[in-house]
């Protein structure tokens, strides 16, 4: 019985990770102290976004999200809608 439960937990955890993706967005217009705050705030409102790491110096944002709830187009549209167009520089699974 314990081994069945362990297998069940493994399957559940693997399926949860399968929908989790990470993308790096280049945001060339991010050049002031308020920019990272604005970008992080708008991305945090998107359902499915779990981690946002903003680097003003590199002018990029690394976003971890659930691809069952959102997608890259929603992320780039959100940054563009607040005045910071972004493009994908790297996507991982």
Mean pLDDT of the chain: 86
Token digits for 12?
């559940």
Radius of gyration of the chain (CA): 16
- Exposed (0-12), middle (13-18) or buried (19+): which is 71, by Cβ within 10 Å? middle
- For the entire predicted model, the pTM comes to 0.78
What average pLDDT score do residues 73-84 get? 97
Q: Is the pLDDT confidence value at 65 over 70?
A: yes
**Does 76 score more than 70 pLDDT?**
yes
The CATH class of the 19-92 domain is: alpha beta
**Residue linked to tokens 């069945």:** 4
Going by pLDDT thresholds of 50, 70 and 90, the confidence category of residue 88 is very high
Q: Does residue 59 come out as left (phi exceeding 0), alpha (psi in the -120 to 50 range) or beta?
A: left
d(CA 10, CA 41): 34
The DSSP bridge pattern shows strands 60-66 and 20-26 to be antiparallel
Residue-level pLDDT at 71: 96
The predicted-structure confidence for 31-58, as pLDDT tens digits, reads as follows: 988 999 999 999 999 999 999 999 999 9
Residue 58 corresponds to which tokens in the numbers above? Answer: 């590199």
């Amino acid at each position: 019985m314990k081994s069945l439960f362990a297998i069940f937990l493994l399957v559940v955890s693997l399926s949860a990770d399968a929908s989790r993706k990470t993308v790096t967005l280049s945001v060339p217009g991010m050049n002031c102290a308020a920019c990272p705050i604005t970008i992080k705030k708008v991305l945090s409102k998107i359902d499915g976004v779990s981690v946002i790491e903003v680097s003003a110096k590199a002018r990029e944002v690394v976003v971890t999200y659930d691809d069952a709830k959102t997608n890259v187009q929603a992320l780039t549209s959100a940054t563009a809608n607040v005045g910071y167009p972004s493009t994908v520089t790297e996507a991982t699974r």
